[in-house]
Amino acid sequence: MPAAGLRFGRIPITNVTPVVECGRIPAKAIPGEDIVVGATVFREGHDLVGVSAVLYDPEGREAQRIRMHPVGIGLDRWGGALRPESTGNWSFAVEGWADVYGTWHHNAEVKIGAGVDVELMLAEGAALFTAAAEQRSADQGPNAGDAAVFTAAAKVLADTGLPVDERLAAAGSDAVLAAVGREPLRDLVTSSPRYPIHVERVLAGRGAWYEFFPRSEGAIQDPATLEWTSGTFRTAARSLERVAGMGFDVIYLPPVHPIGTTHRKGPNNTLVAGPQDPGSPWAIGSAEGGHDAIHPDLGTFEDFDAFVHAARDLDLEVAIDLALQASPDHPWVKSHPEWFTTRVDGSIAYAENPPKKYQDIYPLNFDNDFKGLSEEVLRIVLMWVSHGVKIFRVDNPHTKPLMFWEWLIRTVNARHPEVIFLAEAFTRPPMMHALGMAGFQQSYTYFTWRNTRKELEEYFTEVSAETAAFFRPNFFVNTPDILTEFLQYGGPGAFKIRAVLASTASPLWGMYAGYELFEHVARPGAEEYIDNEKFEYKQRDFAGAIAEGRSLVPFITRLNDIRRFHPALGELQNLTVHSSTDEATVVYSKHKQVDPGDPSSKDTLIIVVNTDPHSARECTVSLDLAALHLNPEDFNEDGTFWVDDLISGQSWRWGAHNYVRLDAHFEPAHILSIRRNS
């Protein structure tokens, strides 16, 4: 049979997913995550085909094999899910094969039902089962016991003294179907190439982030002189219990390095700073040092190490900012002027993002000394790794060469595969996606600006189904730079709405300090906070707000508790959008079978959110029941099933169509857990 150089095998297999750049780039995964596999598989004529997905561990051994199922009608599209259980470089393949049993059984039912070739069809069935029994016996595999099942079926099929219906029924008995289900009867087996899957540690794809400025945590202002004393790593460590108590996994710190004084920005991004103004942490570098130094006001490396250890004791990981830029006072400006862009007049170009100007920041130019600058950044990253930092939030990576990031992340992960990079890239989709392909484990997203039902449905579908193989979305609800109009004018309900959406639609979500206090006043004409913490210290009374009932902390804590106890929310690719009759009510579900070997271990949540922060909305929610994976025993006698609201504690009987009323001024969302009766 000719084979070399042919595009198609005996059973054609096309459009395999998840495959990134024809397999040159591995798809992303974390341990225990269900990886949705798809393929188009068909054959000539009318005989039936079967399709399997096979998972191979980092040593190349078969770790899992599943039977794929048809997706859609008449599309020859097949789907299934594989689940790697540990980190490393895994792979998978799709196998297509002639379904010998399925083809015979279908033809036998049709022909015998029509009285055509009755004995011939039964004889062919007997021969098929006899051969299958011999094969099972010879293999001596885990399903060798099925040989007796096939032998018994062959005997009944060949017994001309029995009624035809009884003989045919033997070929479709529960025992036969179970045996064929365990190990199908296959012929003409054809395999796709093996495609790579890179499985990284859990925090690469699942976790809750919290951001605060350590200089504000414990900062003190003298009421008489109005002079500030900066917070330190020691005082900031006292705030870690507050963060851990809300259920966050990562504490993210803006740059902790010395800050330049030249062109230092004052309050609200003004061009003139006073002697007490601390400046933007992103204007990195002064006489005290650069990216490998700590701002003296924050403490020493010993203090930083103590902060990291205190966080670790609370099951928090510390993420720091990797901002590849420099203030005019950075040591690099004198030692390596070639790392910057010099203009015709001899001045160094400062950063601009028209109409925004950053006179206190010089961007880097990799093209003047790519090797030297790259190696310096590598040195800095590895230095911080040696101090316990395993997560880097990278500022504006889209303004640096993509090939640099691919090299840096590959080099760092070769030595420290546990290190995670988050891309803060609010830019064009091709660049955002390419950063994920280059190695960034996760990314900020456009979620921040997706507010309507239609926008959310489209974006949730995109990130969960279309780009999940290479782009992990971290849904931040706010940042020091981003205070959306939705939060500015939506009131407390808006804060609840965005928190529910972020924490349930993506396994990764985050918030910046002050969100839990409903901070919502913007600088006039800007989409950022008034009295922005980027340029000044900020004192917040978190405990007082809780005591007075004006804090979102209990709600945030509840959301993170729900995430922790419901595995379905730890998945990205399992989101299904459902419909409602209200243009402002978005409905989606998430499902996970926790134990692949136990069909009863199902975790299924239905999330219903009123996206209008100003009113109560009423509608009918219509569910795709197949996406909920309900068992017969889950239904009540009237055909309904029980759902428990994890926010309010209430319970209802639901079915395919359900009345919902959500008041944004009270509780704008349901997070409903399907009650399983098995």
Active site residues: 395, 424
Burial 541-557 (b: 16+ CB within 10 A, else e): eeeebbeeeebbbebbe
441 is in an annotated binding site: no
The maximal CA–CA distance of the chain, rounded, in angstroms, is 108
> Looking at the DSSP assignment, which residues form a beta bridge with residue 208?
509
> In this structure, what DSSP letter does residue 60 have?
S
- Report the distance separating Cα 628 and Cα 539, nearest Å: 46
Q: Which stretches of 467-566 are DSSP H helices?
A: 485-489, 491-505, 542-547, 553-565
360 is in an annotated binding site: yes
Burial class (CB in 10 A: 0-12, 13-18, 19+), 73: exposed
356 is in an annotated binding site: no
Burial class (CB in 10 A: 0-12, 13-18, 19+), 160: exposed
Q: By C-alpha distance, which of 519, 430, 508 is closest to 479? A: 519
Chain centroid to Cα 642, Å, comes to 28
Sign of the dihedral defined by the CA atoms of residues 132, 135, 141, 146, in that order: positive
- Report the distance separating Cα 604 and Cα 630, nearest Å: 9
The bridge status of strand 616-622 relative to strand 575-580 is antiparallel
Query: Taking CA 152 as the corner, what is the angle to CA 148 and CA 155, rounded to the nearest 5 degrees?
Result: 140
Mapped onto helix, strand or coil, the DSSP state of residue 302 is helix
Question: Do 335 and 328 form a contact (C-beta atoms < 8 A)?
Answer: no
> Looking at the DSSP assignment, which residues form a beta bridge with residue 317?
250
Tokens of 329: 């006072």
- Report the distance separating Cα 184 and Cα 182, nearest Å: 7
- Report the distance separating Cα 638 and Cα 655, nearest Å: 9
265 is in an annotated binding site: yes
- If one counts every other C-beta atom within 10 angstroms of the C-beta of residue 651, the result is 13
The bridge status of strand 351-353 relative to strand 356-358 is antiparallel
535 is in an annotated binding site: yes
488 is in an annotated binding site: no
Question: Do 260 and 291 form a contact (C-beta atoms < 8 A)?
Answer: no
- Report the distance separating Cα 423 and Cα 395, nearest Å: 7
- Report the distance separating Cα 265 and Cα 150, nearest Å: 81
Mapped onto helix, strand or coil, the DSSP state of residue 315 is coil
- Report the distance separating Cα 98 and Cα 187, nearest Å: 5
DSSP sequence for 141-187 = STTTTHHHHHHHHHHHHH-TTS-HHHHHHHTT-HHHHHHHHHS--EE
Mapped onto helix, strand or coil, the DSSP state of residue 34 is coil
- If one counts every other C-beta atom within 10 angstroms of the C-beta of residue 364, the result is 22
Residue stretches of the annotated binding site for alpha-maltose 1-phosphate: 265, 325, 360, 396, 534-535
Residue stretches of the annotated binding site: 265, 325, 360, 396, 534-535
